[in-house]
Each structure stands twice: as C-alpha cells, then as structure tokens.
Amino acid sequence: AQSVAQPEDQVNVAEGNPLTVKCTYSVSGNPYLFWYVQYPNRGLQFLLKYITGDNLVKGSYGFEAEFNKSQTSFHLKKPSALVSDSALYFCAVSPGGATNKLIFGTGTLLAVQP
C-alpha cells in the first residue's frame, strides 16, 4: 500500500538551531513530494515540492528539503529555526503521472523555544 510516514509526532528545537522534520514514503514509480505547514486554526500553506532534478529543493520562509531516492525520504530542513516556525508540518506524496490525490503523513508538530 502507498503511504507516507512522519515518525515524530513532535520536534523540539531551540531558536537559532538547525531543524529537521523527517518524512519517508512508500509508493511505486517516481513520486512527487510536497511539504505543507499549518498554523493553528488555519488552512495548509504550501512550502515546497520535489518533481525532478536537483535533490535539494528550496522553498518558502527559508525552508529546504532533500530528496533521497535510495532511502525514500524527503526531510524538511532549516538552518536556523525561528519561534514563528512553530506549527504543524505535513509531508505529502503524489504517486506520479496523472493522479488526483495526495497521500498525507500524520503531521509533525514543531515547537521552537526562545
């Protein structure tokens, strides 16, 4: 079955430190991979996506993600965390080709302490 795993329910990091939010996937073919962020009582905001090409993708608000095909991972990273980065982060995968649906992970709550 096709799936996305976010193994950490919560990630805690001090402001100014680097952060990583993990995501692994299990889909057939060449997937398209997405990261979204959700602030409390708000809709999801698109951060970045990997389609093809360079494995390091840069997105909004200083975030980047690294696609690793051999490890089937797409971890979200930021060199220096801000308190305002505290939010719920979702990884999602589209299995590729003409498809109508995204498969979402269960979300990781990022808490950045001042």
Partner 1 sequence: SQTIHQWPATLVQPVGSPLSLECTVEGTSNPNLYWYRQAAGRGLQLLFYSVGIGQISSEVPQNLSASRPQDRQFILSSKKLLLSDSGFYLCAGKRGASGLETQYFGPGTRLLVL
Residue 25 C-beta: closest distance to partner 1, Å:
13
Site for partner 1, residues 39 to 68, rule: CB under 8 A: 40-46, 49, 51
* Lookup: tokens for 47: 């951060």
Q: For partner 1, which stretch binds (CB under 8 A), given 34-42, 54-62, 64-72, 78-86?
A: 34-42
Q: Which is nearer to partner 1, 14 or 51 (CB)?
A: 51
Q: Should residue 36 be labelled a site residue for partner 1 when binding is judged by CB under 8 A?
A: yes
CB burial string 10-41: b at 16+ within 10 A, e below: ebebeeeeebebbbbbebeeebbbbbbbeeee
Q: For partner 1, which stretch binds (CB under 8 A), given 13-21, 36-44, 64-72, 77-85?
A: 36-44
Round to whole Å and give the CA distance between 29 and 10: 30
Q: Largest Cα–Cα distance in the chain?
A: 44
Number of C-beta neighbours around residue 5 at 10 A: 15
* Lookup: tokens for 95: 């299995």
Q: For partner 1, which stretch binds (CB under 8 A), given 18-26, 65-73, 75-83, 99-107?
A: 99-107
List residues near partner 1 by CB under 8 A.
32, 34, 36, 40-46, 49, 51, 88, 90, 94-102, 104, 106-107
